[in-house]
Structure 1
Amino acid sequence: MQRIQQLVSHLTPTPTGLSALERKSPDDVVITMAIRSPLCKAKKGGFKDTRTDELMTEMFKKAISYSKVDPAVVEDITVGVVLAVGGLYAARQAALTAGFPDAVPISIVNRFCSSGLMAVTDIANKIKAGQIQVGLAIGVESMSQDPDAGVPPASAEIQAHVAAQDCAMPMGWTSENVASDFNVTRERMDEFAARSFQRAEHADKTGIFDGEIVPFTAFVRNPKTGEQSTRVITKDDGIRYGTTKEGLLKVRPAFPQWGKGHTTGGNASQVTDGAAAVMLMKRSKAEELGLNILGKHITTAVAGCPPRIMGIGPLYAIPKVLAMAA
């Protein structure tokens, strides 16, 4: 009988492409929860008075509530965070405050804009390696609380290296470099930005975001008296209703000193406060716990590029991840 099964297995074509990705295995890494806070404008939005550790604590509380998983079942937590001073201390304190047992370990990862994604990758890889069965990935950032400490003075050797010095340049400079090097016109940038705002407006009005946004408690602090209160935020507050390309074309350049001055406050990414959480585990564990499976994590690819045009990083990473998943 075993010999027959081996022959049948040998004759059965091995799935490739999409069929292989969709094939289910008990060892698959699956996502059973994916939630986020509303995304709010830094310095003036709903979370402007809410500290990073407070965002973390609230996100951990929501993860416990929405995951339908006993927090003691979670075997590791990774938090993606960039700006927080003492980020690991804050993450550990927030997890304990929210209700995670002290037996649940935690770490942080910083890969700038992709830090939250790297937290997901870190947990997924640990599950694939058999180190854990259940893990939680969180991404959090308070741009309002950015200490703005800047980059410390570099060594003489680094200062003499052009590409190394480029690492410390502002993102507005790199944006203008990309626009100039790749001939991205102001009109194309504003057209893309307008379409993005229009899609966000449609999603907000029709409830497309309702399944991912969870109500979030924010702090409100009076700078004069120090008095503190709370309120609940339920919606993104950075969507600009009625945005058009024609309207964006009227916005003045934000960085006229660099390149062609195509980047503006209308077509640049919003400076944002917010948080998100993803629960991952082996498929067999999810089925054992009776959890709904939202998706399957396949793989992640990272790639480097010249710091002066760091915005094109996905151009290199996407082909790599598609090749790995083929």
Structure 2
Amino acid sequence: MSKQVQDAYIVAATRTPVGKAPRGLLKNYRSDDLLVHVMRAALAQVPNLDPKLIEDAIIGCAMPEGDQGMNVARIGALLSGLPDTVGGVTVNRFCASGITAIQMAADRIRVGEADVMIAGGTESMSRVPMGGFHPSFNPAIFANNEHVGIAYGMGMTAEKVAQQWKVSREEQDAFALASHQKALAGIAAGEFNEEITPLDIVEKFPRLGTAEVDIKTRKMTVDEGPRADTTLEALARLKPVFAAKGSVTAGNSSQTSDGAGALILVSEKILKQFNLVPLARFVSFAVRGVPPEIMGIGPKFAIPAALEKAGLKLDDIGWIELNEAFAAQSLAVVKDLGINPEVLNPLGGAIAWGHPLGATGAVRAATAIYGMRRRKAKYSMVTMCIGTGQGAAGIFENV
């Protein structure tokens, strides 16, 4: 017997500040501890909600190894104080792991199989390297040119997009500078305050000549990546890092990062039962595949698909978080779809504040939800390209 389709609402959303990897403020934070921090903070936003009603915790992680392995979702649920009855599952869609976790949680509610879910993502690129500790490609990838793009480094895929879509170095650097400027302006205006749950950074320093240790604690309240000293001239001096005559540099690429985000989703029945005020309604999600060697173009196909499922047009979206994996791929997507720059990454993007891989979808969902509410936009979107050739997009409604 089929279940009645119902809406899924976000009633809590929060994230950590994003740290720079591998030597930033969060370098010593375990991934599971970052997750516990945001799960507890999300639960604190809805104190009236009975946590025993949570069906499952779905958490995204792009490199589920080390201290973000061993099913970090279940470990996070237990360490955050949730009842033993709450399940946990870790999902991996690389850079779209976090938004996929939200989609899966929403779908459980929408088909009537759950009334309360917690979703999010966590990633420490300081503690688990890109590709994991022991990457091992299937030899068949190299035996067939049709699939060799799977093994391309992300930077090389960005170079290929820049070449095919004729995105100049100057355009990429200008886009990167704007990302930093918007992020810094957002920090100065306090626009990230609602979405960030600050972290205490504890540092220990040995006292020379003694057996004593000095302990220093400070509070991390904002993202670590945005740089006030970035200029077009400084960006222009950087050398390409992926191709000798290329245009993709460290300055117009996303930063490696650490961070986590968590959201709580409920059905309309739970909204009424516990008198909860929704932040947003989950509207639609789509994922589309593209050739791996031009993986950065993925959002070009995922965005129209998500809009079609929602019965919306691009002009209906008042806040778009397009993950800036690279300026080259972001600009290619923007040009092909004709995205309005006024609604694109209003507070900057991953070039400025970083890209903690599997956490990014959840982190940016918090940004999009609170951002559209401040701007009084009706809809917001989170979208990104994905390694091995995919694009994903999720849409939220301001209610």
Which of 239, 256, 271 pairs up with 1:271?
256
Match in the other structure for 1:101:
83
Say if 2:213 is the partner of 1:213: no
- Normalising by structure 1, report the TM-score: 0.85
Match of 2:147 in 1: 164
- Shift, 1:151, TM fit: 2.5
Q: Name the residue aligned to 1:154.
A: 138
Higher Cα radius of gyration: 1
Q: Secondary structure at the match of 1:303?
A: strand
- Say if 2:121 and 2:260, in contact at 8 Å, map to a contact too: yes
Of stretches 245-254 and 74-83 in structure 1, the one that deviates more from structure 2 is: 245-254
1:214 Cα offset (Å): 0.7
Take 2:266 and 2:88, find their aligned partners in 1: how far apart are those partners? 16
Paired position in structure 2 for 1:85: 65
8 Å CA contact 2:283–2:310 kept in 1: the answer is yes
Consecutive unaligned residues in structure 2, runs of 5 or more? 312-399
Q: Which stretch of structure 1 is more off in the superposition, 198-207 or 61-70?
A: 61-70
- For 1:290, the equivalent position in structure 2 comes to 275
Whether 2:286 is the aligned partner of 1:301: answer yes
CA RMSD after TM alignment: 2.4
Matched pairs, number = 298
**Cα distance in 1 for residues equivalent to 2:203 and 2:73:** 22
- 1:92 and 1:244, CA in 2 relative to 1: closer, same or farther beyond 3 A? same
In the TM superposition, what is the alpha-carbon distance from 1:265 to its structure 2 partner? 1.4
Q: 1:171 deviation in Å?
A: 0.8
Tell me the equivalent position of 1:70.
50
Q: TM-score scaled by structure 2?
A: 0.70
Deviation at 1:242, TM superposition (A): 4.5
Determine which structure has greater relative contact order: mean sequence separation of CA pairs < 8 Å that are 6+ residues apart, divided by chain length: 1
Instruction: Answer 1 or 2: which has greater helix percent.
Output: 1
- Aligned equivalents of 1:84, 1:58: Cα separation in 2: 18
SS of equivalent residue, structure 2 residue 36: helix
Q: 1:179 to 1:192 in 2, by over 3 A?
A: same
The one-letter code of the counterpart of 1:75 is E
1:50 equivalent among 26, 29, 33? 29
Q: CA, structure 1 residues 90+108, in 2 after alignment: closer, same or farther (shift >3 Å)?
A: closer
**Aligned match of 2:360:** none
Structure 1 residue 132: Cα displacement? 0.1
Query: Residue type matched to 2:291 in 1?
Result: P
Q: One-letter code of the match for 1:233?
A: M
Distance in 2, Cα, partners of 1:92 & 1:175 = 35
Distance verdict in 2 for CA 1:70–1:222, change over 3 Å: farther
What code does the residue aligned with 1:196 have?
Answer: S
Q: Deviations over 1:264-290 (max 9, x none)?
A: 111111111000111111123113211
CA contact (8 A) 2:60 2:121 kept: yes
Contact kept, 8 Å, 2:71 with 2:90, in 1: the verdict is no
Deviation for aligned residue 1:244: 3.2
8 Å CA contact 1:111–1:118 kept in 2: the answer is yes
Distance in 2 of aligned mates of 1:153 and 1:282: 42
* Change over 3 Å in CA distance of 1:242–1:70 after alignment to 2: farther
Local SS of the residue matching 1:249: helix
Q: Which runs of 5+ in 1 are unaligned?
A: 1-25
The CA distance in 1 between the partners of 2:54 and 2:172, in whole Å, is 43
For residues 322 and 184 of structure 1, what CA distance do their matches in structure 2 show? 26
Counterpart mapping for 1:172-183 below 5 A? 172-183=155-166
Using the TM superposition, give the Cα deviation of residue 230 of structure 1 relative to its aligned residue in structure 2, in angstroms: 5.9
Q: Deviations over 1:11-39 (max 9, x none)?
A: xxxxxxxxxxxxxxx93211111111001
Output the CA distance in 1 between the equivalents of 2:35 and 2:216. 18
Counterpart among 239, 246, 253 of residue 252 in structure 1:
239
Contact 1:52–1:84, Cα closer than 8 Å, also in 2: no
* Match 1:192 to one of 175, 183, 202: 175
Shift of 1:75: 1.3
Q: Percent identity?
A: 38
Q: Is the 8 A contact 1:141 1:273 kept in 2?
A: yes
Residues 32 and 122 of structure 2 are in contact (CA less than 8 Å); yes or no, is this contact kept in structure 1? no
Distance change >3 Å, CA 236–CA 309, structure 1 → 2: same
Task: Name the counterpart of 1:240.
Answer: 227
Classify the secondary structure of the residue corresponding to 1:67.
coil
* Structure 1 contact 198–242 (Cα < 8 Å) conserved: no
Larger deviation: 243-252 or 94-103? 243-252
C-alpha distance 280-95 of structure 1, shift in aligned 2 (>3 A): same
Structure number with higher strand proportion:
2
CA distance in 2: counterparts of 1:219 and 1:84, whole angstroms: 25
